[in-house]
Structure 1
Amino acid sequence: MTEIETMDRAALIAAWDEAFGTPVPKRLSSPFLHRYLAFEMQAKECGGLPKGFVGKLEKAAREDRGTNNPTLKTGGRLIREWNGVTHVVDVVDGGFLWNGQRFTSLSPIARAITGARWSGPRFFGLKRSA
């Protein structure tokens, strides 16, 4: 286990290839590779994952169609931290209240906070990215 902690990226890539027989997925950081490979080694040393665990994960992934669409009710509150600042948005009749201003959509609020064109529901964690 200690040897994984000291591996450079080239060694991590070689260890991944040996463990999985596939190239490392793009954009995986070295710290993530360290953790993932350490977990894989530990799981193998301890006899692998519990019986049926992978099947349960696959079943859960098939059943999750991203239909989790929370209904925002008047009086609800959305809280999002951005660049060290906590932003609070209140759900009011017909829209949202942020910094004393009323909005009919979350997207202009997300845009005002970030300076970029964000999907408001995605920015506030109400929708997952595709």
Structure 2
Amino acid sequence: MAKRGIARAARKQLADVPQQLAALASMSVPELAEKYQELYGEPTRSRNRDYLKKRLAFRIQELAEGGLSTRAVARIAELGDKLPERWRMRQVEEAKPAAPPPPAVAGGRAPAADGRDARLPPLGTVLTRVFKGTQHRVTVREGGIEYEGQLHRSLSSVAKLITGTAWNGYTFFGCAQKAGGSKAVTP
């Protein structure tokens, strides 16, 4: 009798998949992000609607119909370092005993130990960028980013002020990778 109940629940879940997939089309980005948190157990950093819908559709189907075959997982493990980092980390996390997810913060990013965005360099760091022949210097401060004696809330707002157009501040100032015309100087 118990096997019938399990089989019935599995069929119901499979039958529900088309409805769940259809529901994704009408969800807003915050709703998709919430659903992502629910299905993956971690916040998403993306706010791209199509990307979130695709990832959620995959996860819904994976949960309902099963994931990769044992053979496919074994082959992926053989490939080792050729795997994308996020996939490898997910495999490691799935192998660990379940732990409560970290508290969600605005934008889905975990804060550094001192409460700041973890992508920012340490306080007092001076970032420089040459743009259109002019060198621009910003300093990472406790309350934000200092540029030309004024405090700004983000690197992106400073990048927009300098260029006149929307930029990712971390990219503009080379925080993701120290390359190009940008460099960081710690005091």
TM class, shorter-length: 0.3 to 0.5
Higher helix proportion: 2
- TM-score, normalised to structure 2's length? 0.32
